[in-house]
Chain A
Amino acid sequence: MKRVDIRNLSITFGTGPAAARVLPDVSFSVEAGECFGLVGESGSGKSTVLRCISMLTDIWSGKVTIGGTNVRDLAPLARSREIQMVFQDPYGSLHPRQSVRTVLSEPLKIHKLGDREARMSKAITDVGLPLSFLDRFPHQLSGGQRQRVAIARALILEPTVLLLDEPTSALDVSVQAEILNLLQKLREDRGFTYVMVSHDLAVVDHMCARFAVMQHGEVTEILPREAISGNGATHPYARELIAASLAYERAL
């Protein structure tokens, strides 16, 4: 279990008076073993924060530490054993011409890990798929099964922090329930730290202990989960977002 700290994360394009700050000063910290939510409208920078933490984008300034180590000091190989990411759309994030076996064995090859078969079968059973699925291609899987493969790929290097970028927004409610249950169970069993982006406050309420509301790249407010049902937010945008979600869900 490792703690994630983000201090003054910012992205600026250009210099001088014409400089555009697309991500002004994001700071928050995630306790070890916590599930932390990031919510906000599209374009508010939620996914960008995840891409910065995972160094998929490296033009940022500020400081991101995982368990006390600065992510910039981690070599790529060590970093990918700390942090893994699950992307939004399982239709886009799996290579259409690679079998599940290829997808799962590639990280093991890169990291020169032994016992490949055993590791792959553990990862695939951990996400609740039968072993025979190792020889399937993405087009032979349903959306929920693909997302499970994407989660298995993230798990295979045994990271400590999982970044979840809208892991269920492309899925049906029934399949969403399966994936959310799986993520909960994995966190309980293995003590992962999750940072989860979502636009659905009901999902955030179900999964996360605390969440940050983002707007125009800024964290407007960090709230505990309990603030949702009573709308305990103070920032006007956060209030509006929570009120809209409540109106959407209630209204009977």
Chain B
Amino acid sequence: MSATSILDVRNLSVRYNGTTCDAVKDVSFTLGRERLGIVGESGSGKSTIGRALLKLLPTAKVIADKMRFEELDLLSLSERQMLDVRGKRMSMILQDPKFSLNPIQRVGHQVAEAYRRHFRCTKAEAREKALAMLDAVKINDPMRVYDLYPHEISGGMGQRFMIAMMLLADPDLVIADEPTSALDVTVRLQVLDILDGLVRERGIGLIMISHDLNLVRNFCDRVLIMYSGHMVESLAARELDNARHPYTRGLLAAQPRIGGSRKPLAVLDRKDDWINAVEPTA
């Protein structure tokens, strides 16, 4: 894995300004051309990892022994150099298209702008690129939808626009921060299938940040479990049912299941030693 890894993080810790404890503490992982899920409750630091990788935390203290992205050492890059990395080589899909799209700009233009920001080309070329990408995310009639405003499109369509925008510059790494939690079940599967197809086809590394165990189980190869800023377990997604950490097991038991017994659901009985990770499985 190490030969092909595109991301190598060693002992990443993040502390927000003015707080006394680390939001993320000593997290290490590597990522190859695979799909990695990061799961945890709200406040467990999973989104903070994504933001730290993109260096979107200017006021927080980010320490790491190593933060390598392909040939780049992310820790030493200046903000100016980061501008060429963000969006072009590493991009992030955010949770809610309602808040991530500019409400007073036509959606198609926002997608084309993402391309024009990184490649020297005419407006017409960028438009062509954007239209082709919209077609790839299965938007019907891209020509018509191109000129709509964000309020005129549905949530599922908005999220597909976000995916189009982020994949247009052909990045090597995509960080998807809860990409589908604002969507309905039926639409959610479509959007995930599209994202999954594009990621496989182009050999992009994907980090899927989510609180939904079912989602990472279905769409990821490997899963990291976060608990209050610590990485407590790392295992293959299909091994999730054999998780050994009590927190992971607790999360699995707390999930209501279709056709399950209707006994009261198991509730987490939190212990202080949960922040200690279990030994990784081979």
Chain A residue at minimum C-beta to C-beta distance from B260? A206
A176 to B187, CA, bound (A): 23
Chain A residues near B186 (CB, 8 Å)?
A: 41, 240-241, 244
Judge whether B258 is part of the interface by a CB distance below 8 angstroms: yes
Our count of residue pairs bridging A and B at CB distance below 8 angstroms stands at 92
Chain B residues near A173 (CB, 8 Å)?
A: 41, 211-213, 251, 254-255
Judge whether B245 is part of the interface by a CB distance below 8 angstroms: no
* A205, B264: Cβ atoms closer than 8 Å: no
Chain A residue at minimum C-beta to C-beta distance from B261? A206
Interface residues in B181-197 (C-beta closer than 8 Å to A):
184-189
Judge whether B271 is part of the interface by a CB distance below 8 angstroms: no
Chain A residues near B266 (CB, 8 Å)?
A: 177
Chain A residues near B217 (CB, 8 Å)?
A: 251-252
Chain A residue at minimum C-beta to C-beta distance from B42? A172
Residue interface mask A159-195, B partner, CB < 8 A = 1: 0000000000000111111101100110000000000
Judge whether A9 is part of the interface by a CB distance below 8 angstroms: no
* B267, A174: Cβ atoms closer than 8 Å: yes
15 A-B residue pairings within 8 Å (CB atoms): A41-B184, A173-B255, A174-B254, A177-B265, A177-B267, A203-B256, A205-B258, A206-B265, A244-B188, A244-B189, A245-B185, A247-B189, A248-B189, A248-B218, A252-B217
* B257, A41: Cβ atoms closer than 8 Å: no
Judge whether B246 is part of the interface by a CB distance below 8 angstroms: no
Interface residues in B203-222 (C-beta closer than 8 Å to A):
211-215, 217-218
A201 to B184, CA, bound (A): 11
Count how many chain B residues have C-beta atoms less than 8 Å from C-beta atoms of the other chain. Answer: 33
Expressed in whole angstroms, the minimum distance between the Cβ of A10 and any Cβ of chain B is 24
Chain A residues near B241 (CB, 8 Å)?
A: 252
Expressed in whole angstroms, the minimum distance between the Cβ of B155 and any Cβ of chain A is 7
Chain B residues near A41 (CB, 8 Å)?
A: 184, 186-187
Chain B residues near A228 (CB, 8 Å)?
A: 258-259
* A241, B185: Cβ atoms closer than 8 Å: yes
Chain A residues near B250 (CB, 8 Å)?
A: 174
A229 to B260, CA, bound (A): 9
Chain B residue at minimum C-beta to C-beta distance from A43? B154
Expressed in whole angstroms, the minimum distance between the Cβ of B157 and any Cβ of chain A is 13
Judge whether B268 is part of the interface by a CB distance below 8 angstroms: yes
* B259, A201: Cβ atoms closer than 8 Å: no
* A245, B258: Cβ atoms closer than 8 Å: yes
* B258, A180: Cβ atoms closer than 8 Å: no
Chain A residues near B268 (CB, 8 Å)?
A: 174, 177
A16 to B103, CA, bound (A): 34
Chain B residues near A241 (CB, 8 Å)?
A: 185-186
Chain A residues near B264 (CB, 8 Å)?
A: 181, 184-185
Residue interface mask A219-252, B partner, CB < 8 A = 1: 0000000001100000000001100111111011
Selected contact of A199 from candidates B185, B238, B259, CB within 8 Å: B185
Chain A residues near B215 (CB, 8 Å)?
A: 248
Chain A residues near B256 (CB, 8 Å)?
A: 176-177, 180, 200, 202-203, 205-206
Which 8 A-B pairs give the minimum distances between C-beta atoms? A229-B259, A177-B254, A206-B256, A177-B265, A172-B41, A41-B184, A181-B264, A202-B256
Chain B residues near A172 (CB, 8 Å)?
A: 41-42, 211
A69 to B184, CA, bound (A): 35
Judge whether B80 is part of the interface by a CB distance below 8 angstroms: no
Q: Which of A174, A176, A180 has the most CB of B within 10 A?
A: A174
A252 to B237, CA, bound (A): 9
Expressed in whole angstroms, the minimum distance between the Cβ of A100 and any Cβ of chain B is 21
Judge whether A125 is part of the interface by a CB distance below 8 angstroms: no
Residue interface mask B41-68, A partner, CB < 8 A = 1: 1100000000000000000000000000
Selected contact of B255 from candidates A143, A184, A202, CB within 8 Å: A202
Chain A residue at minimum C-beta to C-beta distance from B262? A206
A212 to B184, CA, bound (A): 16
* A229, B258: Cβ atoms closer than 8 Å: yes
* A180, B185: Cβ atoms closer than 8 Å: no
Chain A residues near B212 (CB, 8 Å)?
A: 173
Expressed in whole angstroms, the minimum distance between the Cβ of A249 and any Cβ of chain B is 6
Judge whether A42 is part of the interface by a CB distance below 8 angstroms: yes
Selected contact of B258 from candidates A185, A199, A201, CB within 8 Å: A201
* B187, A249: Cβ atoms closer than 8 Å: no
A244 to B180, CA, bound (A): 14
Chain A residues near B218 (CB, 8 Å)?
A: 248, 251
Contacts A42-B184, A206-B256 aside, 13 further interface pairs with beta carbons under 8 A come to A41-B186, A41-B187, A174-B254, A180-B256, A184-B262, A185-B264, A199-B185, A200-B256, A202-B255, A205-B256, A206-B260, A248-B188, A252-B217
